[in-house]
Structure 1
């Protein structure tokens, strides 16, 4: 459960962008309701703001996740993920990770040198600083979500095909893959939403049942907004549904 909110917030993480700036913009905000069985376990939010880093205008991405009610009594989660990304290229300049998941805590900040293919990670909890070599255009976990949202091939994939990017997380760079499953109309609180279905490929064993135990439904419109996520865990399963949204860059496609 330690990385559960991480995957649910950020691996829905998975709308898709190559930086046409048409899938999202400043002012976008949406909220997920997370269910563990019939229990309302918590919420996750994602927001886009404007900011300035080193005299450059950037998007400030903010992801938050937290448990509520009895779930908070049994397993308290308060997670904050932030990323500052270039408005044109979509590459990150900086990330923030401050989490508390049942007593498991991290307080980190990462500074990307994209031209030098390096990242400096400052660990405030352990009072340490490390430098890592990274591939070109490496993403952090939150920026990955937005980087994929405007990917030029996301709606052109054939069933079974994948998109892969380099993602830095937990002091290492991994190849993150998103496999296209097909299209499906799903019923939500907003109506029937035409969706593209994807499976992020994740490490099995510790939390998830198998490599393809996550399924993500993305709105089949210009927003490419995540509307549902399901995860099969080692014990039980979790579902997250889009609960609220505002500031979308494009009309939200709903079938009447």
Structure 2
């Protein structure tokens, strides 16, 4: 599975900021010690089957001697569905306490393929510099450096940042464009706001959620990668994700959340 499709993206609500702003942003959505867990389901020949689990954690750590947030996302498929599609993804990112992207790593097993992407961010003289690394399935390595004129994000760092953004004034159909990066370099991405709805999680509770679509520009057209639903409160916790894959579709439903920064005010009867 493309890891961009899991989280969301998953999950990408922030307009790109200028390099001179040092790519900083306020964090109002999470704190150290947050833990989220999910059930994964895969659609195989029109039948939904339990495919595995996913978990995400955020803790305060250090990166090159400075305080930083360390966030990790792990997806694990079960053996029952391995003959359909092997799902073994691990994502890791570091961001400064001012929400500047610092590092990203994605290890993804997609069927029989295994690749690793890494991004190393620096900000010399107020400019953005990103060293991009990809380890291919055959063990070869490719390196590329990009120096964009505005801030660029990977899917994990933009997700952590985006949770502090508010869509309260957005109208249905509102679109936000931003740059996204991986081991191959930079590409355009887009977020579309689809309004609000009620979603039942796998913890048995219902939540009022903002519905958003994460899209990438492929073959000269915008393609929806993941549709996700986040709590319509200050936490913006992803409750459900609908992922559109090359080999079918998958869904993730929240099973548990703890260590939240803010009260959950989006729960409904």
TM-score range, shorter chain: 0.7 to 0.9
Q: Which runs of 5+ in 1 are unaligned?
A: none
Assess if the C-alpha contact under 8 Å between 1:84 and 1:95 holds in 2.
yes
Q: Is 1:24 the counterpart of 2:30 in the alignment?
A: yes
Give the drift of 1:174.
1.8
Q: Is 1:56 the counterpart of 2:74 in the alignment?
A: no
| Partner in structure 2 of residue 100 of structure 1 | 109
CA distance in 2, matches of 1:224, 1:16: 13
Deviations 1:224-244 (A, max 9, x none): 011011234566432211112
CA distance in 1, matches of 2:5, 2:117: 18
Q: Equivalent of 1:191, from 188, 205, 216?
A: 205
TM-score (normalised: structure 1): 0.86
Give the drift of 1:221.
0.8
CA distance in 2, matches of 1:33, 1:91: 30
TM-score (normalised: structure 2): 0.82
Alignment of 1:202-241 (within 5 A): 202-203=216-217, 211-212=223-224, 214-233=226-245, 236-241=248-253
Q: Which runs of 5+ in 2 are unaligned?
A: 16-23
Paired residues, number = 249
3-state DSSP of counterpart to 1:10: coil
3-state DSSP of counterpart to 1:142: helix
Q: CA RMSD in A?
A: 2.5
CA distance in 2, matches of 1:233, 1:98: 17
Choose 231-240 or 37-46, whichever is displaced more.
Answer: 231-240
CA distance in 2, matches of 1:252, 1:113: 35
- Evaluate the alpha carbon distance shift between residue 135 and residue 43 of structure 1 in structure 2; reply closer, same or farther with a 3 A threshold: farther
CA distance in 2, matches of 1:72, 1:185: 32
- Evaluate the alpha carbon distance shift between residue 234 and residue 120 of structure 1 in structure 2; reply closer, same or farther with a 3 A threshold: closer
Choose 110-119 or 8-17, whichever is displaced more.
Answer: 8-17
Assess if the C-alpha contact under 8 Å between 1:91 and 1:138 holds in 2.
no
Give the drift of 1:212.
3.3
Assess if the C-alpha contact under 8 Å between 1:91 and 1:139 holds in 2.
no
CA distance in 2, matches of 1:202, 1:34: 23
Q: Equivalent of 1:120, from 131, 137, 142?
A: 131
| Partner in structure 1 of residue 6 of structure 2 | 8
